Structure 1
């Protein structure tokens, strides 16, 4: 009977894709991976670097195992690991993903010296007073006046936005970008709701709220309550 292959190597225009079987033991998998790569991709100084994507299906790899796989592949000198993809995540990782995607609603006034931070999107019903700070991993929506500091996309999400009924901040931050408010800005009671976002020039721009439906069409997820 022909032995079943635990490691399949496929060449693509972007490099190599390694399909690793998820039913054999981890030790078997490592052994066969080492053998196949050693036979096919011996290190050569004049050989260009080859990008490798690793797909492990329904196998869970902890950090130590991921590093072992990466190290094994890197030993071939000319191979560079681009990513390791798995269909399996831990409960903790699933909870972290859920926290970063959910909308947290808070009804309060953020006063001077107070900091409110959430993992995902923030919907604040209330004002952010001067000296107050709101921080979110996702978007920030303020049903009130923003006079303090707002930092959206704090984990590096450049697509995050900040919206407020009255936009008169001390400072706006989106991802790693910072925009200080003008020294003097007249606050109008009937000012139209505004939003801040990162434009094509990597600058924080403030505009009418209506532009978001064109700039960030994914925000329409709120309509269905998802």
Structure 2
């Protein structure tokens, strides 16, 4: 006996504690998806008075389908009219060109070999690897991590785009100010001369910036590459 193949569903609706999740087939035509969605929504119990019922929050899972704004508006219109719902979030496997460029910039490493003198400001997207000193009055900024293979005696601001996972490392750590995202630390108090060990600054689980030896970073930031750790 030949078994009849089951037609794949274009829309799968799942209930969650936060609302409803709609898993959309990413292989079918968008018009077919809209048609099945309308059929399934019409089968759901309709509230007597929509205006008196809270909005149902919807999460769309679109897989490898890229939803244009016009298509999102069509889905939203259908959801609003049939079940008084609003699209709260969209989960997709598709990366747009804008998102891809942002990822590239955030993961790049800018390498400089120079001395940052008083009054100079160097700002980069991604990580900064500086071979040289940051003199008092000089400033280095990066949206990612900052590595100074030299003396850091000026200002260093890592994670400028609110990235508290960023770190600041220097061969000689004697800054006038350290900043990671919005967490600021003043010059460290030292009982003796500058440490001979390379040090790193990072934000701990309590939201405080701490200084520690370079070897500690592999424990608190295990994603830092072995190459950069030396």
Task: With the length of structure 2 as denominator, give the TM-score of the two structures.
Answer: 0.78
Q: CA RMSD in A?
A: 3.4
- CA gap of 1:215–1:54, structure 2 versus 1, over 3 A, is same
The DSSP-based 3-state class of the residue aligned with 1:217 is coil
The within-5 A match list for 1:61-210 is 61-62=67-68, 65-66=71-72, 69=75, 73=79, 76-77=83-84, 81=88, 83-181=89-187, 188=193, 191-210=196-215
Whether the 8 Å CA contact 1:49–1:80 is kept in 2: the answer is no
Other-structure match for 2:27: 23
Alignment pair present for 1:215 and 2:220 = yes
Instruction: List gaps (5 residues or longer) in structure 1.
Output: none
Deviation sequence 1:24-67 (CA, Å, 0-9, x none): 44455456545544653756688777654321111123456556
The DSSP-based 3-state class of the residue aligned with 2:63 is coil
The DSSP-based 3-state class of the residue aligned with 2:115 is coil
Whether the 8 Å CA contact 1:166–1:187 is kept in 2: the answer is no
- CA gap of 1:198–1:51, structure 2 versus 1, over 3 A, is farther
- CA gap of 1:186–1:136, structure 2 versus 1, over 3 A, is farther
- CA gap of 1:169–1:34, structure 2 versus 1, over 3 A, is farther
- CA gap of 1:74–1:224, structure 2 versus 1, over 3 A, is farther
Other-structure match for 1:59: 65
Q: Answer with 135-144 or 33-42: which moved more.
A: 33-42
Instruction: List gaps (5 residues or longer) in structure 2.
Output: none
Say which one has the larger Rg: 2
Pairing partner for 2:14 from 10, 14, 20: 10
Instruction: Name the CA distance, whole Å, in 2 between partners of 1:78 and 1:8.
Output: 16
- Give 1:203 shift: 0.9
Task: With the length of structure 1 as denominator, give the TM-score of the two structures.
Answer: 0.79
The DSSP-based 3-state class of the residue aligned with 2:223 is helix
Instruction: Name the CA distance, whole Å, in 2 between partners of 1:38 and 1:162.
Output: 57
> Aligned residues, how many?
223
Instruction: Name the CA distance, whole Å, in 2 between partners of 1:222 and 1:172.
Output: 24
